[in-house]
């Protein structure tokens, strides 16, 4: 991940509602959640949720699929793994292998 992409991703998460939405989708796992389910779980108005999901989507943190009249959203864990990799790339005094187990664990859990 390049620096500007990392900044865009971090910027998208730097808002309380968007962070809550992303964490909710992470907890939902591979099944994801319908937009209405997210709104209900987080007690967010649908139009507010929609705007925030759009920003998360543009940052590559969520993806969606249409299911009839509903849209199901999923956390895009590959983007989060890439962000964490970017943040940890030069950790431990240039000995990135010390952080590699953390990245491997995150990748396995996704």
* 81: its two tokens: 């793994």
Rounded Cα distance between 102 and 67, Å, is 35
Percent of the chain scoring above 90 in pLDDT: 73
Residue 109 binned pLDDT confidence (cut-offs 50, 70, 90): low
The DSSP bridge pattern shows strands 33-34 and 70-75 to be: antiparallel
Residue 96 binned pLDDT confidence (cut-offs 50, 70, 90): low
Domain of 41, CATH number, reads 1.10.10.10
* 39: its two tokens: 């709104």
Q: Domain containing 95: what range?
A: 3-109
- Contact (CB, 8 A) for 16 and 30: no
Count of structural domains, the chain: 1
Residue 98 binned pLDDT confidence (cut-offs 50, 70, 90): confident
The whole-number average pLDDT for the span 11-37 is 97
Q: What does pLDDT average to over the chain?
A: 90
Rounded Cα distance between 60 and 42, Å, is 21
Rounded Cα distance between 88 and 102, Å, is 9
Tell me the whole-structure pTM to 2 decimals: 0.85
Rounded Cα distance between 24 and 5, Å, is 23
Task: Using the Cα atoms of residue 27, residue 30, residue 31 and residue 36 in order, give the sign of their dihedral.
Answer: positive
The residues that bridge with 67 in the sheet, in sequence order, are 70
């Amino acid at each position: 991940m390049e620096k500007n992409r990392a900044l865009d991703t971090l910027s998208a998460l730097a808002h309380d509602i968007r962070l809550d939405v992303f964490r909710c989708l992470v907890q939902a796992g591979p099944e994801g959640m319908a937009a209405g389910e997210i709104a209900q779980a987080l007690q967010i108005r649908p139009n507010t949720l929609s705007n925030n999901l759009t920003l998360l989507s543009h940052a590559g943190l969520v993806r969606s699929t249409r299911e009839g009249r509903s849209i199901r959203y999923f956390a895009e864990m590959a983007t989060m793994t890439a962000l964490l990799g970017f943040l940890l790339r030069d950790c431990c005094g240039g000995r990135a292998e010390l952080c590699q187990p953390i990245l491997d664990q995150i990748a396995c859990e996704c």
